[in-house]
Amino acid sequence: MKTKTWKKTTDGSYTFFIDEKEVGTMNIAHNTLERLATCRIAGNDVVLKRTGFWKSTIEITDESGRLIGKIYPEKWYASSWAFDYQNKKYKVLVRNNPLAEFVIQENGKDQLAYALNTANKVVNVKITTTKEPLDLLFDFVLWYLFVPVATENMDDNLTFLLLATA
């Protein structure tokens, strides 16, 4: 089992570790409508930002500005989104299981999930990975979506501990 952790470094800045080895960083501009996130993932630069009139679409671009992924609502009232990435279709879901959980699915099967957890009566974040190896971008996408939930429900100074289970 690999241990994944997100550590907050400054306001809006997070570092991602796998087994205590730094593999990436994310800086999120929380005070803008597009909520621009600049990421460095295993040496590659990626940008996530909200687009569209309602800012309900997330575009993912590489360091040259080329669109490499897109997350968009399947229906305007649904709690799921289509996720187009590397010529594949995924689905991003929000569900309560029993607490808030964000999931990426492929062909109806969970690939990665970030969820609130109350182990030992302390609120923390738990990650469940069902497919290894999994593209690290998926962790960054789910953290981008999940960090407001984690921040709202946890002490702002806590390290967000994520346990990967296969």
Q: Tell me: the pLDDT tens digits for 65-99?
A: 999 999 999 887 778 999 999 999 999 999 987 78
pLDDT band at 114 (very low <50, low <70, confident <90, very high): very high
Query: Alpha helix locations (H) across the chain?
Result: 136-153
pLDDT band at 122 (very low <50, low <70, confident <90, very high): confident
Residue the block writes with tokens 């500005």: 65
Phi and psi torsions of 92, nearest 5°: -110, 125
Length of the chain: 166
Among 56, 54, 82, residue whose Cα is nearest residue 69 = 82
Distance, in Å, from the CA atom of 6 to the CA atom of 112, rounded to the nearest integer, reads 15
pLDDT band at 132 (very low <50, low <70, confident <90, very high): confident
Tokens encoding 55: 């800012």
Q: Over 60: is that where the pLDDT of 166 sits?
A: no
- What percent of the chain is modeled with pLDDT above 90? 60
Distance, in Å, from the CA atom of 11 to the CA atom of 146, rounded to the nearest integer, reads 16
pLDDT at 155: 56
- What percent of the chain is modeled with pLDDT above 70? 91
Asked whether the beta carbons of 13 and 26 are under 8 A apart, the reply is: yes
pLDDT band at 158 (very low <50, low <70, confident <90, very high): very low
Q: Over 70: is that where the pLDDT of 159 sits?
A: no
